[in-house]
Amino acid sequence: MTEGQSRLKSQAEAFKGTMLWSKIKSESIEENGLYIDLLGNANSWICKGEKKRSTLSRKFISDGNAKLIENDLNGALKLFNRGMRFAEDNEHVCLANFWRSSCYRRLNLFERSLEDIKRAKQIDWKKKLERRLERRRKFCNKKLNLKATSRKGIITVNGKTYKKLPFVSSAIKIEKNDEFGRFVTATNDIHIGDTLLIEKSYVRVSTADECSKCAKTKMNFIPCDNCVDAMFCDKDCVDNDFHSFECGKIFYKPNIDDSKVTSCILRSIVVAINTFTTVDDLIAFVEHIRLTDPNEIIVFAESPIDKYKAFFKLSTYITDKCIWDFRNQAKDIYDSIMSSTDYAAKFDTLAKQRFLVHLICHHAAIVRSNGFPTNSGIPGVNDDDFDCTIALESSYFNHSCLPNAVKLYKDDITVIRAIQPIKAGQQIFVDYLQGDLTKETSRERNEQLEFAYKFTCQCELCVNGIQKAPTLRYHLDYVFVKSKMDRCDDYIIPIRKNCVTFLQNHPKNVSSQVGYYMLSTLAFIYQKELSKQ
Ligand SMILES: [Zn+2]
Ligand SMILES: [Zn+2]
Ligand SMILES: [Zn+2]
């Protein structure tokens, strides 16, 4: 992800740090060859998460009811889920199921509604709700019988794909050079709307409103027995490698999304450990690849080891100062791993423990440079709803403030789709920044890019500024889109069509205020359509 558009200091060049991966040279046999101690006297920031509480559960359920009355079904769903996570006893679990089934019924998700009705009915406490549950069950069954089983759209790449890679369009390829590091170009002409890549996240930390394992939304969630922060689709999702390390804990939290970042680093470490049979294998692998080309292109890795290699080589900018800043976070992660007897047994020597700390710091640098909240910038999403996602191939796309492609998200899938016509040979860019970029000066944007990714953007908007094209304000496509956006759910298809026509016909005007508006609106509409699928 940090493959900068220009002036990117390559990883090797940027790594001025001397701390990460350095080993002690000493006369003493015990010390010699050990990785240096990065943790020292770092503090742990872990605190206990909130406890389950019936009073809070009841409050969330009644707040959810208020939302139901306002017809804010998604808002209500969140509150009923929260009510379920905080529920201490059968009464509240049953109530949460009862009300969630009502939400799903009104969302026309009749299968989901029936599942929650079934769960509510299994609980002894249900007596008072029995008749209403039965009525609702009959209603949903009737609706389901009427509804032809229309399969929901599966996301696919349109056009040709690589033979062995059905999720990668053969119209793209990954290249590298000194100027850009790794980057993605078009091998054929690409049209607006073409799907270029579909990728499952390598590591992902969900929001509290999604399955903690697979990030699905609107499921018949079952809450974690122990904490109030996690829900799972089903028993399969409960059995995952990650949650046991996070359960009941709140990590390093100077600001809210850092706790998510800590979880994401922790999860990536668990993935690394489980990729190899033994810790010795992991150490040998890391010590080997650390010395190979950091810009190696690992094309669409398939095996777990290749995927880990691709993850390990994602670009970062590491200095001793970063490593120093990671220490408290690293300590939390280290303590969490070692609190599991199984994992502590794997790291049973000082040499392995020191290695683990270095690995955590290396992963911290990768996650900080490549981890994205996929839902930020979406209206109505609070800061504490952020997730943190790392995908591998999608990270090779460079940034432009006037991108010709957009990154879209659905559950734990990342989709890259073209939003401008792209000619064969041209580089494909996505946008790393959020919000309306024309509201900031190019200097403001580049300060953010320099801070987070260590490069300066050389796009049209940054180099020449906003193009003056006042007559475009009267362009019919623009006037239409602008006038319909406040009811965009009702006009989603015509809005999309007008944006596409405009962008096809005015490739030279994308850097105007109107062009930028059409470009960002199209990206927004694509995300909306994908979320609905
Ligand atoms: Zn799940
Ligand atoms: Zn838990
Ligand atoms: Zn730019």
- CA of 412 from ligand 1 middle (Å) equals 10
- CA of 333 from ligand 2 middle (Å) equals 16
Q: What is the CA radius of gyration of the chain?
A: 25
- CA of 407 from ligand 2 middle (Å) equals 31
Provide the pLDDT for residue 319: 78
* Mean pLDDT within 234-253: 83
Which ligand is nearest the CA of 6, by number? 3
pLDDT digits (tens, 9 = 90+) for 276-309: 999 999 999 999 999 998 888 887 778 899 999 9
* Mean pLDDT within 15-34: 80
Least confident of 24-38, 145-159, 395-409, 488-502: 145-159
pLDDT digits (tens, 9 = 90+) for 244-285: 888 888 876 666 557 788 889 999 999 999 999 999 999 999
Burial code (b: 16+ CB inside 10 Å, e: under 16) for 293-302 equals ebbeebebbe
C-alpha 172/C-alpha 184 separation (Å) is: 7
Structure confidence at residue 513 as a pLDDT band (50, 70, 90): very high
Domain residue extents for the chain: 54-146, 167-199+398-532
CATH of domain 54-146: 1.25.40.10
* Mean pLDDT within 383-394: 78
pLDDT digits (tens, 9 = 90+) for 111-145: 899 999 999 988 877 677 888 999 999 999 888 87
The residue among 81 and 327 whose pLDDT is bigger is 81
Provide the pLDDT for residue 257: 57
Structure confidence at residue 328 as a pLDDT band (50, 70, 90): confident
Global pTM?
Answer: 0.84
- CA of 416 from ligand 3 middle (Å) equals 19
Listed residues: CB within 5 A of ion ligand 1: 211, 213-214, 216, 233, 237
Which amino acid is residue 305, in one-letter code? I
Burial class for 41, CB neighbours closer than 10 Å (0-12, 13-18, 19+) = exposed
- CA of 82 from ligand 2 middle (Å) equals 13
Residue 59 has pLDDT above 80, yes or no: yes
Structure confidence at residue 378 as a pLDDT band (50, 70, 90): very low
Mean pLDDT of the chain: 87
Provide the pLDDT for residue 231: 92
C-alpha 15/C-alpha 33 separation (Å) is: 21
Residue 161 has pLDDT above 90, yes or no: no
Give the single-character DSSP code of 439. G
Mark residue 442 as left, alpha or beta (left: phi above 0; alpha: psi -120 to 50; beta: remaining).
alpha
- CA of 238 from ligand 2 middle (Å) equals 9
Q: 3-state SS of 311-328?
A: HHCCCCCCCHHHHHHHHH
Torsion sign across C-alpha atoms 433, 438, 439, 443: positive
Residue 462 has pLDDT above 50, yes or no: yes
Q: Provide the β-strand partners of residue 416.
A: 197, 407
> What's the angle, vertex CA 499, arms to CA 497 and CA 502, rounded to 5?
105
Percent of the chain surpassing pLDDT 90: 54
Tell me if 340 sits within 8 A of 244, measured CB to CB: yes
- CA of 228 from ligand 2 middle (Å) equals 7
The residue among 349 and 318 whose pLDDT is bigger is 349
Instruction: State how far the alpha carbon of 320 is from the alpha carbons of 36, 227, 362, 363, 374, in Å.
Output: 13, 36, 12, 15, 29
Token digits of residue 478:
């623009």
Provide the pLDDT for residue 9: 41
Residue 155 has pLDDT above 90, yes or no: no
Level-2 CATH architecture, domain 167-199+398-532: Beta Complex (2.170)
Residue 447 has pLDDT above 80, yes or no: yes
